[in-house]
């Protein structure tokens, strides 16, 4: 991230902000900014990842374009964030995956679905694939349980390791230590920030989602999508518990906990991600750093695919299409696990780290 | 995504969009209305408060903003806070700020250049003004931390541009006919009453008839030609901290029609700004507040004023007019690395060099004179050992002296800022009465011409400066002008 143009533009904006300070009341970015007089590349990356892209400061800015200072904090921070993801990516040789993210994700999804489909065909007796499987262990007749579990846990585990190392590098660069004594005091505040998206509150009035008028749509869409994803994760965990501990194999009836959690979570993800796409498409393009086809849309499309294929599978699981639908859904989920550390989803981890750092710095200073 | 899906999910948004489109076609198309009840000239804080108030009372209102939409709002774009009297603390104000204390503050800075009755009206109206503003979408910067709140001024969340955004949305919602890129060329008077105006919108002139006119078009701070009449060529070297649109031609129009002037057109509020700042709209970030920390020299490398005279919070304010009197209207702040960090962060970093002579070269000053000035100053410094920000250091045996905070300039790297006078606002406008009616030369109020904001602020603040008072004058007299104009029209 050293000396890049995006960082320099962002630093120039920060210096103007720090001399102005009209936006102090909006979010943690400006609170943290006030504590410094000069801004290293790591500081710029830290502030950029703290930014939730609510655009309050853009519409309030007396120096926004066409003013010659052309301060556009959300857009310049968004470009810096994209660079931090590359800069801290581990292994470093894979950082390029962020640059061709759409191609990478598309190929991974295609490969994962193809892999699962081929496995289904290869592992099963020819001619059996398109018959409906009913009753207990029907899914495992399509993909054996051991393979499903092993591949899924393997992919997710590997991704989490990669992600942890990457974010750990960022954490050290912004001044964090692995076992910082201050962490515990700030942890709850940071977790609250993550779970409530307090910094999207805009001093209480919401974001500027589409224009200079305020709205809470973006915050709510994120909540719906995020908690939808958590519900899906909970569904998977409960199903795993049923299966491995209680020895009660899937598929589960419609009224069972995994199905209820998964159906609710999947629907929520579709509403949340769909809303996000609408907001992005209809929004004022000026404070956005990217257009359609960029990484944000890529990950939203994949999340929609994961949730959608899961719901379609639920709807048609007792028909002949089940095995194919299951293959597509598992392929989508597998690709989500695989691309996790090289997708826009990493923003959550980088932002959480920045929020924790900010909570540590702001502790005892009267808060926001 | 098909349009229908949008509509289903966001029917209300779509509906407001259609209304907005219809309205903008109405405003810009051939059937733009040629008459209204109240015409408001100027789309800054005062004009918006007047337009919103008049519209709420039922008048049809046209708001004429000379700037394009992206630069709307005049100097209110750069506003930060609002000075309000209050008896109890709130989420954004602490303690008590009584009407008496408010008046004392005005009298202290303005001296004789204030109208006590008008000031009293403004102070009384300021008490409930924040509630009125919040109901119309304005947000204040709240803080759970009492110490972080100001006692005398409420800070606008996001500053003046956020306030303007809120007011424009409110005005649109109420049905105020807002016209950007609309310059009022002249006002038509008939028998002492304003009847119409020639308005150029997007380059096309048209007549607009109105039953009442509110002039809220700001002062004359951006009219260099006007200022040159008083300051000569020096006016060319000033930077304008605010909008380029405050050229005062409507004020001139009113004066030509017999309105009584107030204030002094040769006087402006000026501060020291970085000479590298843009000519217009540099706003708050160009201000240099640290001049008392080092020495200040003119372009000949010589000191010209006691830098320690004012080391208080408004220390930057005296330097604008001092630099205006310097040759070429430029000066240079010179300091060393001991005080570097005492400057409030500003737009541009200081120019730095390892020696005073090299710094002089970088600042295009004569290096020998500069080195001599610094060494003479250093030789004269006494009692600097207790130094620091407001230290006890002073000089002996040089003219002018530095009476406070004199420290040796001896620790490299040495730093410098080029300084120019930056005009904040002008102290000139038309006289008004308590109902915001413009007074004519015979002291008789005009029946249907009102003024608000900086066009009349010199009635109350004809000299000096109090943070956040411009916004209070604009808001209170904007409301008054809007109310009186609507009542005159609808009676």
Token digits of residue A29: 């970015």
Minimum mean pLDDT among A206-210, A346-350, B61-65, B90-94: which range? A206-210
* Residue A10 binned pLDDT confidence (cut-offs 50, 70, 90): very high
Residues A211 and A252 in one domain: yes
* 3-state SS assignment for residue B64: strand
Q: Is residue A368 part of a domain?
A: no
- Find the CB nearest A18 among B145, B161, B345: B345
Alpha-carbon distance B92 to B232, whole Å? 44
Question: How many other C-beta atoms can be found within 10 angstroms of the C-beta atom of residue A70?
Answer: 16
Give one DSSP letter per residue of A297-363, joined into a string. Answer: HHHHHHHHHHHHHHHHHHHTTTSTTHHHHHHHHHHHHHHHHHHGGGSGGGHHHHHHHHHHHHHHHHT
CB-CB contact of B335 with B308 (8 Å): no
Residue indicated by tokens 């060494």: B375
Query: Is residue A75 located within the same domain as residue A186?
Result: no
- Both A83 and A102 in one domain: the answer is no
Beta strands in chain A (DSSP E): none
Task: Report pLDDT for B226.
Answer: 95
Question: Is residue A329 in some structural domain?
Answer: yes
Residue of A19, A57, A213 with shortest CB distance to B346: A19
- The residue out of A33, A66, A89 marking a domain boundary is A89
**SS3 call for B451:** strand
Question: How do B414-430 and B331-335 pair as beta strands?
Answer: antiparallel
- pLDDT for B447: 94
Q: Please give the span between the terminal C-alpha atoms of chain B, in angstroms, as a whole number.
A: 52
B81/chain A closest Cα distance in angstroms: 9
Helix (H) or strand (E) holding B25: helix B11-28
**Would strands B261-274 and B177-179 be described as parallel, antiparallel, or unpaired?**
unpaired
Helix (H) / strand (E) containing B39:
strand B35-41
Q: Is B2 exposed, middle or buried (0-12, 13-18, 19+ CB in 10 A)?
A: exposed
Q: Which domain holds residue A76?
A: 5-89
Question: What is the pLDDT, as a whole number, of residue B3?
Answer: 42
Q: Which of A16, A23, A25 sits opposite B285 (nearest CB)?
A: A16
A17–chain B nearest CA distance, Å: 8
Closest Cα of chain A to B284: distance in Å?
6
Chain A residues closer than 8 Å to B244 by CB: none
Residue B347: list chain A partners with CB under 8 A: 15-16, 19
Residue A43 lies in a domain: yes
**What proportions of chain B, in percent to the nearest 5, are helix, strand and coil?**
40, 25, 35
Residue A310: inside a domain: yes
Same domain as A317, residue A195: yes
β-pair type (B261-274, B414-430): antiparallel
Whether B274 and B418 have beta carbons less than 8 Å apart is answered as yes
Decide: B210 and B393 in contact? Cβ < 8 Å.
Answer: no
By Cβ distance, the residue of B142, B158, B341 closest to A22 is B158
Q: What sign for the dihedral angle of Cα B225, B228, B229, B233?
A: negative
CA distance readout (Å), A48 to A32, A53, A195, A297 = 11, 9, 19, 20
Report if residue A194 sits inside a domain. yes
**Residue A19 to residue B344, Cβ atoms within 8 A:** yes
Which residues in chain B land under pLDDT 70? 1-32, 385-391
Residues of chain B contacting A59 with CB distance shorter than 8 Å? 158, 161-162, 165
Judge if A56 and A162 occupy the same domain.
no
- CA-to-CA distance for B369 and B362, rounded, in angstroms? 14
Are residues A79 and A122 part of one domain? no
Q: What is the C-alpha to C-alpha distance for residues A64 and B59, in angstroms, rounded to an integer?
A: 34
Residues A207 and A248 in one domain: yes
Residues written for chain A: 368
Burial (CB count within 10 angstroms: exposed 0-12, middle 13-18, buried 19+), residue A299: buried
**Eight-class DSSP state of A105:** H
The DSSP code sequence of B126-161 is: HTTHHHHHHHTT--B---S-GGGSBSSEEEBTT-HH
Q: Could you tell me which residue, A363 or B406, shows the higher pLDDT?
A: B406
Amino acid B1: pLDDT: 36
CB-facing half-sphere around the CA of A21: CA atoms within 13 A: 15
CA distance B66 to B179: 8
Give A279→chain B minimum CA distance, Å.
10
- Do β-strands B177-179 and B153-155 pair in parallel, antiparallel, or remain unpaired? unpaired
For chain A, helix, strand, coil in percent to 5 are: 70, 0, 30
What is the spatial distance between Cα B244 and Cα B224, in angstroms, rounded to a whole number?
10
- Contacts (Cβ under 8 Å, ≥6 apart) of B234: B324, B329
Expressed in angstroms, the distance from the first to the final Cα of chain A is 29
The last residue of one of the domains, among A51, A67, A89, is A89
Query: Which pair of structure tokens corresponds to residue B46?
Result: 């005062």
Q: Is B161–A62 a contact, with Cβ atoms under 8 angstroms apart? A: yes
What are the tens digits of pLDDT across the range A60-78? 999 999 999 999 999 999 9
Q: Could you tell me if A27 and A146 lie in one domain?
A: no
Q: Nearest CB to B1: which of A63, A68, A278?
A: A278
Neighbours of B484 (CB within 10 A): 25
**Which residues are CB-neighbours of A125 under 8 A, at least 6 positions away?**
none
- Given CA atoms A30, A31, A34, A36 in this order, what sign does their dihedral have? negative
User: Both tokens of residue A328?
Assistant: 């597509």
Are residues A255 and A323 both part of a single domain? yes
**Left (φ > 0), alpha (ψ -120 to 50) or beta: where does A2 sit?**
beta
Q: Environment class of residue A301 by beta-carbon count within 10 Å: exposed (0-12), middle (13-18) or buried (19+)?
A: middle
Answer whether residue A12 is part of any domain.
Answer: yes
Residues A138 and A78 in one domain: no
Q: What's the total number of domains in chain A?
A: 2
Q: Residue B420: enclosing H or E segment and its boundaries? A: strand B414-430
Nearest CA in chain B to A64: B70
At residue A215, the 3 state secondary structure works out as strand
* A212 contacts in chain B (CB < 8 Å): 165, 168-169
Residue A133 is predicted with a pLDDT of: 63
Q: Which 8-state DSSP code applies to residue A203?
A: G
Of A72, A89, A106, which residue is a domain's last? A89
pTM of the predicted model as reported, rounded to 2 decimal places: 0.91
Q: What is the C-alpha to C-alpha distance for residues A322 and A305, in angstroms, rounded to an integer? A: 16
Share of chain A above pLDDT 70, in %: 92
Q: What is the widest separation between alpha-carbon atoms in chain B?
A: 83
Q: Specify whether A115 is located in the same domain as A245.
A: yes
Q: What are phi and psi of B298, to 5 degrees?
A: -90, -170
Tens digits of residue pLDDT in A163-187? 999 999 999 999 877 666 678 778 8
Are the Cβ atoms of B80 and A204 closer than 8 angstroms? no
**A105-151 tens-digit pLDDT:** 999 999 999 998 888 887 765 555 556 666 667 787 777 888 888 99
Residue A367 covered by a domain: no
C-alpha distance from B159 to closest chain A C-alpha (Å): 5
Contact A15, A47 (CB under 8 A): no
Whether residues B155 and A213 touch (CB distance < 8 A) is answered with no
* Same domain for A297 and A229: yes
Q: For residue A266, is it within any domain?
A: yes
The C-alpha of A237 sits at a distance from chain B's nearest C-alpha, in angstroms, of 33
d(CA A359, CA A351): 12
Whole-number average pLDDT of chain A: 89
């Amino acid at each position: 991230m050293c000396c890049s143009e995006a960082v320099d533009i962002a630093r120039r904006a920060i210096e103007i902000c720090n001399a102005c300070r009209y936006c102090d009341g909006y979010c943690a970015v400006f609170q943290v900014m006030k504590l410094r007089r000069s801004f290293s590349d790591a500081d710029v990356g830290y502030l950029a990842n703290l930014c939730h892209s609510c655009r309050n400061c853009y519409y309030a800015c007396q120096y926004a374009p066409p003013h010659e200072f052309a301060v556009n904090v959300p857009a310049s921070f968004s470009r810096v964030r994209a660079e931090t993801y590359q800069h801290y990516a581990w292994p470093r040789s894979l950082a390029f995956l962020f640059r061709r993210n759409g191609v990478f994700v598309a190929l991974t999804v295609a490969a994962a679905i193809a892999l699962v489909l081929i496995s289904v065909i290869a592992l099963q007796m020819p001619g059996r694939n398109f018959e409906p499987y009913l009753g207990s262990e029907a899914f495992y007749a399509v993909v054996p349980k051991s393979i499903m579990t092993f591949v899924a846990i393997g992919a997710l585990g590997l991704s989490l390791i990669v992600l942890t190392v990457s974010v750990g590098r960022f954490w050290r660069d912004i001044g964090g230590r692995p076992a910082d004594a201050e962490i515990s005091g700030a942890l709850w505040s940071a977790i609250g920030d993550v779970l409530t998206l307090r910094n999207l509150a805009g001093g209480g009035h919401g974001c500027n989602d589409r224009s200079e008028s305020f709205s809470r749509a973006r915050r709510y869409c994120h909540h719906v999508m995020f908690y939808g994803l958590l519900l899906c994760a909970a569904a998977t965990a409960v199903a795993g518990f049923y299966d491995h501990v209680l020895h009660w194999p899937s598929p589960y009836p419609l009224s069972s906990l995994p199905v209820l959690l998964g159906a609710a979570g999947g629907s929520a993800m579709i509403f949340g991600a769909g809303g996000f796409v609408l907001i992005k498409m209809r929004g004022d393009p000026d404070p956005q750093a990217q257009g359609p086809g960029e990484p944000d849309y890529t990950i939203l499309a994949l999340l929609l695919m994961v949730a959608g294929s899961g719901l379609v599978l639920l709807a048609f699981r007792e028909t002949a299409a089940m095995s194919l639908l299951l293959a597509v859904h598992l392929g989508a989920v597998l690709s989500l696990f695989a691309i996790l550390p090289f997708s826009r989803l990493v923003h959550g981890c980088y932002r959480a780290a920045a929020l924790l750092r900010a909570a540590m710095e702001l502790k005892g200073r009267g808060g926001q | 995504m098909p349009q229908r899906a949008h509509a289903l999910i966001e029917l209300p948004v779509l509906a407001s969009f259609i209304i907005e489109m219809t309205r903008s076609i109405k405003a810009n198309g051939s059937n733009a209305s040629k008459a209204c009840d109240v015409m408001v000239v100027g789309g800054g804080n005062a004009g918006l408060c007047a337009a919103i108030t008049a519209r709420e009372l039922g008048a049809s209102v046209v708001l004429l903003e000379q700037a394009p939409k992206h630069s709307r709002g005049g100097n209110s774009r750069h506003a930060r806070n609002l000075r309000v009297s209050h008896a109890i603390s709130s989420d954004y104000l602490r303690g008590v700020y009584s009407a008496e204390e408010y008046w004392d503050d005005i009298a202290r800075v303005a001296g004789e250049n204030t109208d006590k009755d008008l000031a009293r009206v403004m102070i009384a109206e300021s008490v409930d003004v924040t509630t009125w503003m919040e109901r119309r979408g304005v947000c204040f910067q709240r803080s759970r931390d009492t110490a972080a709140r100001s006692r005398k001024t409420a800070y606008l969340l996001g500053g003046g541009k956020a306030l303007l955004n809120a007011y424009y949305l409110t005005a649109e919602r109420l049905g105020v006919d807002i016209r950007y890129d609309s310059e009022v060329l002249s006002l038509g008077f008939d028998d002492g009453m304003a009847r119409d105006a020639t308005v150029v919108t997007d380059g096309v002139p048209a007549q607009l008839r109105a039953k009442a006119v509110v002039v809220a078009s700001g002062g004359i701070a951006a009219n260099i030609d006007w200022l040159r009449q008083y300051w000569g060529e020096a006016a060319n070297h000033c930077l304008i901290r605010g909008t380029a649109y405050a050229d005062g031609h409507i004020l001139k129009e009113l004066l030509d029609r017999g309105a009584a002037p107030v204030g002094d057109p040769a006087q402006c509020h000026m501060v020291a700004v970085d000479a590298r700042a843009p000519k217009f709209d540099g706003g708050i970030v160009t201000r240099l507040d640290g001049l008392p920390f080092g020495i200040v020299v003119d372009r000949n490398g010589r000191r010209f004023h006691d830098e320690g005279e004012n080391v208080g919070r408004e220390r930057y304010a005296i330097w604008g007019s001092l630099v205006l009197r310097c040759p070429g209207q430029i000066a240079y702040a010179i300091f060393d690395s001991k005080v570097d960090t005492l400057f409030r962060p500003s737009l541009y970093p200081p120019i730095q060099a390892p020696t005073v002579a090299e710094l002089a070269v970088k600042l295009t000053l004569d290096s020998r004179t500069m080195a001599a000035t610094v060494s003479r100053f250093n030789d004269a410094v006494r009692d600097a050992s207790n130094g620091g920000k407001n230290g006890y250091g002073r000089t002996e045996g040089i003219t002018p002296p530095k009476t406070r905070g004199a420290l040796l300039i001896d620790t490299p790297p040495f730093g410098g800022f080029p300084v120019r006078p930056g005009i904040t606002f002008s102290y000139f406008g038309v006289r008004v009465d308590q109902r915001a009616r413009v007074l004519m030369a015979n002291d008789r109020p005009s029946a249907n011409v009102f003024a608000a904001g900086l066009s009349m602020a010199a009635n109350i603040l004809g000299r000096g400066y109090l943070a956040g008072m411009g916004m209070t004058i604009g808001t209170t007299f904007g409301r008054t002008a809007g109310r009186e104009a609507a009542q005159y029209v609808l009676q």
